[in-house]
Amino acid sequence: MPTESLKRAGVNVRIIDKRPKKVAAGQADGVQPRTIEVLQSYGLAERLLREGNQMHMVAFYNPSPNGGIERTGRTADITAPSARYPFEVTLHQGAIEAIFLDSMRELGLEVDRPIIPTALELSHDENELRDPQSYPVKVTLKHLDFGSEGQDDTEIVYAKFVVGADGAHSWVRKTLGIIMDGEQTDYIWGVVDLIPSTNFPDIRNRCAIHSSNGSCMIIPREGDKVRLYIQLSDKDVVVDKATGRVDKEKTKVGPEELLEVARKSFSPFTIEKAGEIDWWTIYLIGQRVAQKFSVHERVFIAGDACHTHSPKAGQGMNASMNDTHNLIWKMTYVLRGWADISLLRTYEFERRKYAQDLIAFDKKFSALFSGKPRTEECQDGVSHEAFLEAFQTFGAFSCGIGIHYSPSSIPSMPNITELKHQSLTSHQTVGMRILPHVFVRAADARPFEIQDLLPANTKWKLVVFVGDIGPGKIKQIERVAKLADDLGKSTGLLKRYEDGVFEILTICATVKECLNYTDLPEVLRPHWSRVLLDDVDMFGRTGGKGYDIYGVDPSQGAIIVVRPDGYVGTVTPLEGVKDLETYFDTFLIRTL
């Protein structure tokens, strides 16, 4: 996904993978609402939604006084009210990879396999490290499929930047000597993907089962498949003390044994496999965050390489995608010469804080999920009420909607989040993603979701809420005209940086019967499609009340600055062009 963004931006990209082919089954399988929004910004969500399963409801089961388990509640799987996609999508990792691979192939980009890095050297020359056009990273590669005698299987690559997204046991991280802070828990879980034969009534809902035999989670998948997360005891497995990983050769638990544990947890309901086990594994929950996410802003780590946690909250793949979504637009700006290389420091600042919050959430969630349930005999156990409260409290964070990037207080770091005029958009928080909402296009009354008009195309979007400029609104019309003059000056905001940095989207609080898109100054209507109305569609089915959604006063208006990754960077009044210039001057390179 972000790799395609680099390729579309004209950056020479190379991807290597030690696996000879893409994942066939298993692995990560849950896509959260915010990640679906991100995929949509790259034009990739439609296929995911078509092929995947949607989880709309979650059911909770706890020990029954009569033995076995009973349902104690059902609720919405996604509790964040502003989620554009109020559900999770589940699809096996191989199918998700195929979406990316096919999209990359259209751009002439393939994954080189099977290749591993064997050495990584980073220049110590400060001038070279500060020059974004230099190649300070030397990577030695080994081609694993070069087996003929005399064939050289080694390749040397010189790179401007390297991103290691190579998993929890990252070679890149270890080679750089980056330490992971955190701990290994005592929680041991098995995972089984299968098509079940069962009389369990919530098999097609996400389920959290607390039984006297241990805990279990059900994740319904594409087609008839489901994934079972099954809690194990430490007597069931053997852990390699040197690596902290489950020793599968010495552990006598396999997929059949995992299913037997699940049967006990499901009682009085039954569950059997209908066919072969699709995939299975056993793991210990480790909760760690890397001490740093890059070295000299030249070699970066992302995803599980810099943070590890339980998979049951569905964060791993989602966090990984959003790490690189955050990084790639910044890297593009540096490579194009549009921004100073110091912009890349904000990747670690923003995403490491998120990772620390994620681990704090995961510790509480894992403890609740892995703890013994409250029963008559175990009054200190986890109650249904406590688990439900945690599920709903952390809902916005776990689905990605609640991610919030804070302003930097580090003097040497560009501040790409600015709160000075936050009060102008009381419901749109600076540092959070732009809220979804449907507006009507002024030129033809066609309704559009605003997020679809703000794609991940590496451009900054100036979303200008001009207020009501209908008949008789002389004062507001004059304010808008002054804004257009300020933006259009020969040395103004739109001219002082490289061409192509900004896109303008104008939103009027005027009904469609009283406004022509041509009523706007040309600067605020760069194309006929870029003027929207806060009004309902022709049938009154969708749209309207957008100013209320964002907390913008129609008599005042506001400019919302949306970063290339869809997060709000700052907000200013219509008279705040100088504030915009000051803001962008902190990290963009001026051409005037």
Q: Mind telling me the catalytic residues? A: 29, 221, 229, 311
SS3 for 556? coil
Contact 29, 91 (CB under 8 A): yes
Q: What sign does the CA torsion over 484, 486, 491, 493 have? A: negative
* E strand or H helix that includes residue 434: none
Q: What sign does the CA torsion over 173, 177, 183, 188 have? A: positive
Q: Token pair for residue 251?
A: 């552990």
Contact 363, 356 (CB under 8 A): no
At 547, the amino acid letter reads Y
Q: Token pair for residue 123?
A: 């220049």
Per-position b or e across 190-221, b if 16+ CB within 10 A of its CB: bbbbbebebebebbbbbbbbbbbbbbbbbbbb
Contact 424, 556 (CB under 8 A): yes
Q: Token pair for residue 353?
A: 């804080």
- Give the C-alpha separation, 448 to 532, whole Å: 9
Cβ neighbours of residue 299 under 8 Å, at least 6 residues apart? 120, 122, 137, 161, 162, 163, 164, 172, 176
Q: C-alpha angle with apex 111: 109 to 113, nearest 5 degrees?
A: 150
- Give the C-alpha separation, 209 to 320, whole Å: 28
Strands (E), 314-470: 438-441, 447-449, 460-467
- Give the C-alpha separation, 480 to 434, whole Å: 23
Q: What sign does the CA torsion over 356, 359, 363, 364 have? A: positive
Q: Token pair for residue 553?
A: 């006063």
Closest among 295, 251, 293, 256 to 273, alpha carbons compared: 256
